[in-house]
Amino acid sequence: MKAISEESILKELSECERSGDVHSRAVALERLAEIYLSRGKFDEALRIRREEQLPIFEKLRDVRLCAVAMSKIADIYQRRGMFDEALRIRQEEQLPRFKKLKDARACAITMGRIADIYQSWGSYSEALRIRQEEELPVFEKLKDVFACAITIGKIADIYEIRGKLDEALRIWQEQLPVFEKLGDAREHAFTMGKIAGIYQRRGKLNEALRMYTESLAEMQRLQDVRSCAYLSYQIVLVLTKKKRTEEALEICQKQALPLSVRLKDRELISMVLSRIAKLLVRLGRAKEAAAIRKNPKKYVRDCSSQ
């Protein structure tokens, strides 16, 4: 399906303006905001949602559409790291509207977003409390197995951050069959990666390597480039600790580096290049390592042309 262009949406907006079709205008504005978000134009997307779209819903006195619009506005603030404003909107604008609608699911989702903010601030106790007392019980009552599994996984994240590895590992191991039963390959693979990470931290390298490899195979089937790049790099780190240097170098050069270049992820590219140089030194190829450190861009170009 051909992507809708910005020009066609702007034309549609002009037609809506002339015809007075308020609803169609709001829909077109949403598509335009999504285009700007995909391009990283957060200010413009925020302006559209706050100054053009939200007033339409307020004029229509549609509580639900107002709540959803406020949620998307808060999402932008949250993505930009403006957590104070995001939290204010969620607590003072978004949550009260969903409570007025008696929408338990939407309230629970909103509380989850609030927990995300507290977690970003390092307020892990409050984030954990919200997830355990205000988010998870609602999904359990609604018998939403998938939402419960995702929330439980986020609880495990907090346990891992706080160093409670046994508890985090137990939770993720329990979640694996849940995602398998749900047929959610992505979350299943993601959870395997989490388990592998704990094994890696504990020095259980064989178990970590097995889980990372299985997770990578699933992500490759899903064509998730970012996850594949991350998992490939983690496999390299495990192989390095196992002193399987040549294998680690091959994966770095043939998988981790091309994927990170494809993503245009400068930080990951830098990490992979640094690892390649270290591996080359370990293999007695110090001159090649020095050449990478001297001119990393040339090395990337040379690898890309092969």
**Residue bearing the bigger pLDDT, 163 or 298:** 163
- Domain segments of the chain: what residues? 26-111, 224-306
Superfamily of domain 26-111: Tetratricopeptide repeat domain (1.25.40.10)
Amino acid identity, residue 131? Answer: R
- pLDDT tens, 236-266? 999 999 999 999 999 999 999 999 999 989 9
The pLDDT score that the predictor gives to residue 141 is 97
Provide φ and ψ at 204, rounded to 5°.
Answer: -90, 75
Q: Are 279 and 252 in contact (CB under 8 A)?
A: yes
Per-residue pLDDT of 130-161, as tens digits, reads: 999 999 999 999 999 999 999 999 999 999 99
pLDDT at 4: 66
pLDDT tens column, 71-115: 999 999 999 999 999 999 999 999 999 999 999 999 999 999 999
Contact 194, 165 (CB under 8 A): no
End-to-end CA distance of the chain: 33
Per residue in 110-121, pLDDT tens?
999 999 999 999
At 305 the pLDDT is 65
Tokens matching residue 15: 């037609």
Is pLDDT above 90 for 8? no
Name the amino acid, one letter, at 147: A
Give me the DSSP letters along 197-261.
HHHHHTT-HHHHHHHHHHHHHHHHHHT-HHHHHHHHHHHHHHHHHTT-HHHHHHHIIIIIHHHHH
CB pairs under 8 A, 24+ apart, for 101-106? 101/63, 101/64, 101/67, 103/64, 104/138, 104/141, 104/142, 105/138, 105/139, 105/142, 105/144, 105/147, 106/67
CATH classification code of 224-306: 1.25.40
Q: What is the pTM of this model?
A: 0.85
| Domains 26-111 and 224-306 fall in the same CATH topology | yes
Q: Which pLDDT tens digit goes with each residue over 9-68?
A: 888 788 887 888 888 888 888 888 988 998 889 999 999 999 999 999 999 899 999 999
pLDDT of residue 306 exceeding 80, the answer is no
Per-residue pLDDT band for 2 (boundaries 50, 70, 90) equals very low
Q: Name the nearest CA neighbour of 99 among 88, 91, 107.
A: 107
What is the chain's alpha carbon radius of gyration, rounded to the nearest angstrom?
A: 23
pLDDT in tens, 186-240: 999 999 999 999 999 999 999 999 999 999 999 999 999 999 999 999 999 999 9
